Structure 1
Amino acid sequence: MLRDDDLALLTRPLYAFLTVAPRGDRWPAPRPVWFEVGAGGDLEMFSLPDAPKLDRLREQPRASVVVAAPVGEPEHWVSVEGAVTLHEQGGFELAARLADRYYDMREAKNRALVEEWRTAGVVRIVLRPERVNRFSL
């Protein structure tokens, strides 16, 4: 479902904007998240266990993610929609891998934050693509 040009964008250390179903009369509110593309083409993210988005994903296990190239590059974005599963296993390992990708782990404050995630435990969010939209110049 993901094409080579999608993967070229999605394997870069960019932010994804995750949108889940809102509650009540609220509007959808995308949140920036770190992510990686799993071996099967799923998008994997993580969250602290008390995050409101996890409650909403338990109620409606569907989400969308948008990733775009930064300003200054030719326009290129990928939007992925699909079913979501939540996993207690593998969350910290994913978070630690992503911290190495997105943070300078030589900095003590970043290492301390990753250790907080280990202590708190993190949930792995897996989005299985069902629909992909894209644009590139």
Structure 2
Amino acid sequence: MSADADPLTDNPLTQDDLDLLRRPLYGFFSPAAAPAPPQPRPIWYEVTADRTVESFTLPDSVRVRRLRQHPRASLVVAAPVGERERWVSVSGSTTVHTDGAAELVTRLAQRYWDLGDPVRVRDLDDLLAETWVRVVLRPEKVARYRM
């Protein structure tokens, strides 16, 4: 079963897609300029109010170098084992931003980790000691499956 795109926006993400994407699941990110075959990497991500998908990475990462060559990527998110089969694949153009990355790291750590755990608080401090960039993926095409 599949849902249709939201007719009130230019964004192809449906409410059903957003419900899955707003869960703290790993996304598998593949830049367009990846080697053949693509080598997706698990990432933390968030869907913003304007329905873009944001993640963070190191500014000198292979991902950033590839996105600067070909600013397109895809992200696949699937429901975990034990739930009914469901996935969303988002592809589109990307931009890399130097602003807002530390705030994104903090929000995502709150989403993915229990920051009541002192070990995770130290892990977050270690992350924030690094310099990060935000990667913004603007959905242009969405594929989905829901059983």
In the superposition, the TM-score normalised over structure 1's length comes to 0.93
Secondary structure (helix, strand or coil) at the match of 1:120 reads coil
- The correspondence for 2:123, drawn from 96, 113, 116, is 113
In 2, distance between residues paired with 1:18 and 1:83?
13
Query: Which residue identity does 1:45 align to in structure 2?
Result: S
Could you say which residue in structure 2 is the equivalent of 1:67?
77
- The correspondence for 2:24, drawn from 13, 21, 34, is 13
Mapping for residues 61-100 of structure 1, pairs under 5 Å: 61-100=71-110
CA contact (8 A) 1:68 1:78 kept: yes
Shift, 1:120, TM fit = 1.7
Query: Which residue identity does 1:77 align to in structure 2?
Result: W
In 1, distance between residues paired with 2:17 and 2:85?
13
In 2, distance between residues paired with 1:11 and 1:69?
11
Shift, 1:40, TM fit = 0.7
Equivalences, count: 135
Could you say which residue in structure 1 is the equivalent of 2:37?
27
Secondary structure (helix, strand or coil) at the match of 1:13 reads coil
Q: Percent identity?
A: 49
Shift, 1:121, TM fit = 1.4
Could you say which residue in structure 2 is the equivalent of 1:4?
15
Which runs of no fewer than 5 residues in structure 1 stay unpaired?
none
Could you say which residue in structure 1 is the equivalent of 2:47?
37
CA contact (8 A) 1:48 1:117 kept: no
Secondary structure (helix, strand or coil) at the match of 2:115 reads coil
Which runs of no fewer than 5 residues in structure 2 stay unpaired?
1-11
Could you say which residue in structure 2 is the equivalent of 1:51?
61
The RMSD of aligned alpha carbons is: 1.2
